[in-house]
Every structure is written in C-alpha cells, then in structure tokens.
C-alpha cells in the first residue's frame, strides 16, 4: 500500500497541471466562500449569515465544494490518459507492476483527491464557522457534519466515472469531452426520454443529488430549523421529486462499485 502511494505520488507531485488544478480548485472554492460570507441580508427572523454559521455551514460549503468535483474528475482523466498516451502504464507492467496494482494506484489517487476536497471543506468551515457563529458548542459545531461523508462519496463517484471513461477511450481530449457531454447532454436527454419513475435512478442524477442544492431560505431562517415545506425548492416545483437520501446513498455506493468493476474489467482485458 505504502509502495503504491509512493509510486503514485512520484508520478503526480512534479506534474504542473496537477498543481495548477489543485490550486485552482482550492482558490475558486475559497473565493466563492468569501463572496458567500460577504452577503449579509438580515430581517427579523431571517439572516443570510446563518448559511455560514454552524451547523448549516457544512451543508452549504459541501454544496459549493461539489461544484469543483468535475475539475477533480478531469484531473483524474488527464493523469490516467497521460499514462496511456505516453505508454508509461505499459512500461510499469513490464517492470513488474500488476494491472491490479496500477488500478489500485489510481484508486489511491482518487481517494487522495477526495480527501483533499474534504480537508479543504473542513478547514474552511471551521474557520468561517468560528468567525460567524455565536454561542458555539461542540455539539453545534459537528451537527450535520455527517454530510462530509456524503461529499466524499460523491467526489469519488465523479472521479471513478472519469476513470472509467478514460480507460475505455484512452484519449485525454476524447475522455474529457465525452465525460462533460455525458454530464451536460447525454444523461439528461436520456433521462427525459425515459419514464418519470426511472429518471431518478441514473448515475449522474444519483451522484449529483448526494449534495442537493441546500434549501437556503430554510437555512437562513432565524433558528435554522424551520419545519415547514413552504421554502422547499421541491415543494415550489423548482426541482423534480428526488429519491430518499438513504436510497440515493445506497445507489451511489452501487454505482461507485459498478464503475470500479467495469474499469477493472477494461484494464484487465485490453492490450496496453
């Protein structure tokens, strides 16, 4: 395990694009949070500052961070695609690395990038939360923080799907274009063509719904736990009815396993 981590680190640590995308992801994320924290609209019983206060901060920051998961997935596509393009995957296999070990290395890369996102959220949330929350308790700080696990799973889901695309296509340009097309056009159009009851079960729908748009109006209400559905986007008809969180989580895990298995099959069977 440590050996594979060292191998993967040696490959990426000196790669400029790797650094650029990580810095870009971090910077853009922090920039959005900064803008979000500057919005201060307060009326009696309602304050936008609640969005950056514990415990709501976890949900809102995770949602913002989820925008950048596609960037991390593109990074995985590029790093893996490079190994096909420059045939270094082939060189490593000839040197004694098994195909399974190579794939495990990519798994480590994906988990590492997901951890990067996770740590970024935790640090940012702790800093902003401490700045903007009054009357903090330990319980309040970590309330709702379980959504971090959901973010982690979502992040892995996006990247594993990217890994599957690039192992099948083996071309960075094609991999990135088709990956984005799948997100923006192919799956949404396919969903539209399917019966309503099937639409919620598609992979991107499931994975993206792990961190749905927070109900900001509800979060911004004075006590942060408004129990009415009046402010729900779903009840307003702005978004389609979704599967329950438990089913969504289970399906996301299923898709991550399925994409990983398909990637393993492709890596195992194809010539290098």
Q: Which positions touch other proteins (CB under 8 A)?
A: 3, 6-7, 10-11, 14-16, 82, 86-88, 90-98, 101, 269-272
Closest distance between other proteins and the C-beta of residue 267, in Å?
A: 12
Nearer of residues 93 and 180 to other proteins, judged by Cβ: 93
Cβ distance 143 to 54 under 8 Å? Answer: yes
Q: Distance (Å, rounded) from C-alpha 216 to C-alpha 61?
A: 12
Task: Report the sign of the C-alpha dihedral through residues 152, 155, 157, 162, in that order.
Answer: negative
**12 is written with which tokens?**
């990426």
Q: How far is the CB of 11 from other proteins (least distance, A)?
A: 6
28/267 with CB nearer other proteins = 267
47 versus 82: smaller Cβ distance to other proteins: 82
Cβ proximity to other proteins: between 92 and 263 the closer is 92
Q: With the C-alpha atoms ordered 60, 152, 238, 178, is the resulting torsion angle positive or negative?
A: positive
CB of 91 to other proteins, least distance (A): 4
Number of other CB atoms surrounding residue 76 within 10 Å: 23
Where is 13: in which H helix or E strand? none
> Which CB sits closer to other proteins, 22 or 125?
22
| Cβ contacts of 17 within 8 Å, gap of 6 or more | 75, 78
d(CA 22, CA 57): 22
Report in angstroms how near the CB of residue 100 gets to other proteins at its nearest.
Answer: 9
Q: Which CB sits closer to other proteins, 50 or 92?
A: 92
Element (H, E) at 62: helix 56-66
For other proteins, give the closer residue by CB, 14 or 227.
Answer: 14
Q: Which of 76, 224, 66, 103 is nearest to 161 (CA)?
A: 76
Taking the complex as a whole, the smallest distance from the CB of residue 83 to other proteins amounts, in Å, to 9
**Burial class, 195, CB count within 10 angstroms (exposed 0-12 / middle 13-18 / buried 19+):** exposed
Q: Whole-number minimum distance, CB 4 to other proteins, in Å?
A: 9
Around 30, how many Cα atoms within 13 Å sit in the side-chain half-sphere?
A: 13
Q: How far is the CB of 129 from other proteins (least distance, A)?
A: 39
DSSP state of 201: T
* Shortest distance, position 73 Cβ to other proteins, whole Å: 21
State which residue, 95 or 246, has the beta carbon closest to other proteins: 95
- Separation between Cα atoms, residue 166 and residue 79, nearest integer Å: 10
């Amino acid at each position: 395990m440590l050996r594979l981590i060292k191998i993967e680190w040696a490959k990426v640590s000196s790669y400029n694009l790797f650094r650029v995308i990580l810095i870009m992801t971090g910077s853009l994320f922090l920039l959005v949070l900064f803008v979000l924290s500057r919005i201060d609209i307060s009326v009696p019983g309602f304050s936008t500052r609640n969005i950056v206060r514990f415990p709501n901060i976890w949900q809102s920051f995770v949602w913002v961070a989820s925008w950048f998961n596609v960037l991390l997935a593109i990074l995985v596509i590029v790093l893996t695609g490079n190994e096909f393009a420059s045939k270094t995957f082939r060189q490593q296999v000839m040197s004694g690395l098994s195909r399974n070990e190579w794939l495990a290395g990519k798994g480590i890369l994906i988990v590492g990038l997901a951890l990067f996102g996770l740590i970024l959220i935790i640090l940012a949330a702790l800093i902003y939360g401490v700045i903007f929350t009054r009357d903090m308790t330990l319980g309040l700080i970590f309330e709702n923080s379980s959504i971090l696990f959901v973010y982690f799973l979502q992040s892995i889901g996006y990247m594993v799907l990217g890994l599957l695309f690039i192992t099948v296509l083996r071309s960075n340009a094609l991999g990135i274009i088709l990956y984005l097309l799948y997100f923006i056009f192919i799956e949404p159009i396919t969903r539209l063509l399917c019966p309503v009851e099937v639409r919620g079960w598609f992979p991107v729908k499931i994975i993206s719904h792990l961190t749905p748009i927070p109900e900001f109006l509800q979060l911004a209400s004075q006590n942060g736990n408004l129990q009415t559905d009046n402010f729900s986007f779903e009840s307003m008809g702005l978004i389609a009815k979704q599967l329950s969180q438990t089913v969504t989580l289970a399906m996301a895990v299923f898709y991550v396993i399925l994409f990983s298995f398909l990637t393993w099959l492709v890596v195992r069977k194809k010539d290098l």
